């Protein structure tokens, strides 16, 4: 089977590798010539895909910027970004810009699958009409389905193969074509009745996380006032073997998905004159969390008679989660920006993120940063940092991730 994958990012590249490893011929397409060149030279730019994983696929997996090559594929999977516009509404421009050239080369018998996270109705109402400008009819001449990507960058216990895959096609035949495709690489394929159900399932998964993270973030703010250790409370509740699922508080939500996806559903709901308060409230609480963290830094400095203006703050970890270099929607960016606005001299250390051009900063050496700071703020915990050493070296440390639990040092404050 020959598979075309449009968009070779955090989602598309691991998928391309999985199909390559399953013995398929894979043609990856990206508008980013740099990514295409790197892949064709056998170099990966995604943390979870080492170069060694690409080496055995030489000859089976190649990259291109040319949509004509999609005509030769049995299945084409779209994995392009679905961000928010400036007005915080769904921005489907990447999907549209990939679907239009695809429609020009679409041929009978092909299967097209959308994997990008989006609101219910996108596949049928937005993608299908563009593809049908080819003159072909979806569901009969060509197949069309939605199958949400569930990848969690940095996770190793579940892979593309072992994470069940959802599929929903515009007709039963399309669903069956999608099921067969993913059975090549996934142990379990779950069939849904429609693309809309598959689109909404993905949003439910992410909104479930968003709501629960908001709950514990709000609890952390309350615990601050109650002078109760939120981590102790969560550890205790987590001993219940049923009816409770652990979520940890932190500096706020980041990444391409969690801060964005609730807005996709809220947008669709508003079109139907429905206002999903739960979802929007969770977004609001999580968006406010970086501001709360800045306030905690100010209070920590105040306690040692230092104003934030002119204080040297070392931010540890600026990507949105540990072990990855993705800074999209990272709460660290809000924290750094707000501290800079308040006049703090901000430096950061993050071995996964060499530069923060938007803030005029480059990663500093950890030891040098610790030696020069007034306070170290653990915003994102990476596996390569010894946090007990941080606490022992910095004059003051504030931990927004709970990685210093068990350390009772006097110069340490936790969320």
Ligand X SMILES: NC(=O)c1ccc[n+]([C@@H]2O[C@H](COP(=O)([O-])OP(=O)(O)OC[C@H]3O[C@@H](n4cnc5c(N)ncnc54)[C@H](O)[C@@H]3O)[C@@H](O)[C@H]2O)c1
Which one of residues 1, 22, 31, 269 is an interface residue with ligand X (CB under 6 A)?
A: 31
116 binds ligand X (CB under 6 A): yes
User: Which ranges in 227-318 belong to alpha helices (H)?
Assistant: 230-237, 261-271, 277-303
Reference 84, options 275, 287, 238; nearest CA is 287
293 CB neighbour count, 10 Å cutoff: 25
Q: Considering only residues 132 through 151, tell me which ones interact with ligand X, judged by CB under 6 A.
A: 149, 151
Q: Is 278 helix (H, G, I), strand (E, B) or coil?
A: helix
* Count of residues engaged in binding ligand X, rule: CB under 6 A: 27
Which one of residues 19, 94, 119, 182 is an interface residue with ligand X (CB under 6 A)?
A: 94
Stretch that binds ligand X, among 5-13, 18-26, 54-62, 396-404 (CB under 6 A): 5-13
321 binds ligand X (CB under 6 A): no
Stretch that binds ligand X, among 75-83, 335-343, 371-379, 400-408 (CB under 6 A): 75-83
Two structure tokens written together for 331: 């709460």
Q: Which lies closer to ligand X via its Cβ, residue 29 or residue 106?
A: 29
Q: What is the CA radius of gyration of the chain?
A: 23
User: Is there a catalytic annotation at residue 373?
Assistant: no
Cβ-proximal residue to ligand X, closest one: 9
Distance (Å) of CA 66 to CA 69, 113, 226, 370, 392: 6, 19, 60, 48, 54
187-220 burial, b if ≥16 CB within 10 A, otherwise e? eebeebebbbebbbbbbebbbebbbebbebbbbb
Q: Is residue 143 within 8 Å of 169, Cβ to Cβ?
A: yes
Distance CA 316, CA 242 (A): 35
Q: Considering only residues 248 through 307, tell me which ones interact with ligand X, judged by CB under 6 A.
A: 256-257
69 CB neighbour count, 10 Å cutoff: 17
Q: Is residue 300 within 8 Å of 398, Cβ to Cβ?
A: yes
79 binds ligand X (CB under 6 A): yes
Q: Is residue 144 within 8 Å of 99, Cβ to Cβ?
A: no
Q: Which lies closer to ligand X via its Cβ, residue 115 or residue 298?
A: 115
Two structure tokens written together for 160: 């593309």
Choice among 257, 293, 363, 373 that is catalytic: 257
Which one of residues 4, 12, 168, 283 is an interface residue with ligand X (CB under 6 A)?
A: 12
Q: Which lies closer to ligand X via its Cβ, residue 12 or residue 139?
A: 12
Provide, rounded to whole angstroms, the least separation between the CB of residue 142 and ligand X: 19
Provide, rounded to whole angstroms, the least separation between the CB of residue 41 and ligand X: 16
Which one of residues 3, 4, 5, 11 is an interface residue with ligand X (CB under 6 A)?
A: 11
Which one of residues 29, 105, 297, 412 is an interface residue with ligand X (CB under 6 A)?
A: 29
32 binds ligand X (CB under 6 A): yes
Reference 319, options 293, 353, 359, 286; nearest CA is 353
Q: Considering only residues 301 through 320, tell me which ones interact with ligand X, judged by CB under 6 A.
A: none
80 binds ligand X (CB under 6 A): yes
Which one of residues 4, 10, 333, 387 is an interface residue with ligand X (CB under 6 A)?
A: 10
Q: Which lies closer to ligand X via its Cβ, residue 95 or residue 396?
A: 95
Residues whose CB is less than 8 angstroms from the CB of residue 382 and which lie 6 or more positions away in sequence, other chains included:
317, 319, 322, 323, 350, 351, 352
Which one of residues 3, 5, 8, 376 is an interface residue with ligand X (CB under 6 A)?
A: 8
Q: Which lies closer to ligand X via its Cβ, residue 327 or residue 332?
A: 327
Which one of residues 117, 134, 147, 194 is an interface residue with ligand X (CB under 6 A)?
A: 117
168 binds ligand X (CB under 6 A): no
Provide, rounded to whole angstroms, the least separation between the CB of residue 276 and ligand X: 19
Distance CA 76, CA 110 (A): 8
Q: Is residue 398 within 8 Å of 378, Cβ to Cβ?
A: yes
221 binds ligand X (CB under 6 A): no
Q: Which lies closer to ligand X via its Cβ, residue 117 or residue 134?
A: 117
Q: Which lies closer to ligand X via its Cβ, residue 265 or residue 346?
A: 265
Two structure tokens written together for 93: 């421009």
Provide, rounded to whole angstroms, the least separation between the CB of residue 33 and ligand X: 10
181 CB neighbour count, 10 Å cutoff: 25
Q: Is 89 helix (H, G, I), strand (E, B) or coil?
A: coil
Reference 297, options 399, 215, 368, 386; nearest CA is 399
Q: Which lies closer to ligand X via its Cβ, residue 213 or residue 219?
A: 213
Could you give the residue numbers annotated as active site?
257
Q: Which residues bind ligand X (CB under 6 A)?
A: 6-12, 29-32, 35, 79-82, 94, 97-98, 115-117, 149, 151, 153, 256-257
């Amino acid at each position: 089977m020959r598979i075309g994958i449009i968009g070779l990012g955090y989602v598309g590249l691991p998928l391309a590798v999985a199909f390559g490893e399953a013995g398929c011929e894979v043609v990856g397409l990206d508008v980013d010539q740099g990514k295409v060149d790197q892949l064709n030279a056998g170099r990966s730019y995604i943390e979870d895909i080492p170069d060694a994983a690409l080496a055995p696929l030489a000859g089976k997996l190649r990259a291109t910027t040319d949509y004509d090559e999609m005509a030769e594929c049995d299945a084409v999977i779209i994995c392009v970004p679905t961000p928010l516009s400036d007005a915080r509404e769904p921005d489907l421009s990447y999907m549209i810009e990939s679907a239009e050239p695809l429609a020009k080369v679409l041929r009978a018998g092909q299967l097209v699958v959308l994997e990008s996270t989006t609101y219910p109705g996108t596949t049928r109402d937005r993608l299908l009409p563009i593809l049908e400008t080819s003159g072909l009819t979806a569901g009969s001449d060509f197949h069309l389905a939605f199958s949400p990507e569930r990848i969690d960058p940095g996770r190793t216990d579940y892979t593309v193969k072992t994470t069940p895959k959802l599929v929903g096609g515009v007709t039963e035949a399309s669903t069956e074509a999608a099921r067969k495709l993913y059975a090549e690489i996934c142990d379990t394929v779950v069939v849904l009745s429609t693309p809309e159900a598959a689109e909404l399932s993905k949003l439910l998964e992410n909104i479930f996380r968003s709501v629960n993270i908001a709950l514990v973030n709000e609890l952390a703010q309350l615990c601050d006032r109650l002078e109760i250790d939120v981590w102790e409370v969560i550890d205790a509740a987590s001993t219940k073997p049923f009816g409770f699922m652990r979520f940890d508080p932190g500096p706020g939500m980041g990444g391409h998905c969690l801060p964005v996806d609730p807005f996709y559903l809220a947008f669709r709901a508003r079109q139907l004159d429905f206002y999903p308060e739960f979802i929007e409230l969770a977004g609001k609480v999580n968006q406010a969390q970086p501001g709360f963290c800045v306030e905690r830094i100010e209070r920590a400095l105040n306690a040692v008679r230092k104003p934030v203006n002119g204080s040297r703050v070392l931010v540890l970890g600026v990507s949105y989660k540990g072990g990855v270099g993705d800074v999209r929607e990272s709460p660290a960016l809000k924290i750094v920006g707000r501290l800079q606005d308040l006049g703090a001299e901000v430096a950061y250390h993050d071995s996964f993120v060499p530069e923060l051009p938007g803030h005029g900063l480059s990663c500093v050496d950890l030891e040098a940063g610790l030696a020069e700071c007034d306070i170290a703020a653990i915003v994102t915990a990476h596996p390569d940092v010894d946090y007990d050493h941080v606490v022992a070296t910095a004059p003051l440390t504030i931990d927004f991730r709970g990685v210093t639990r068990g350390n009772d040092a006097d110069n340490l404050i936790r969320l």
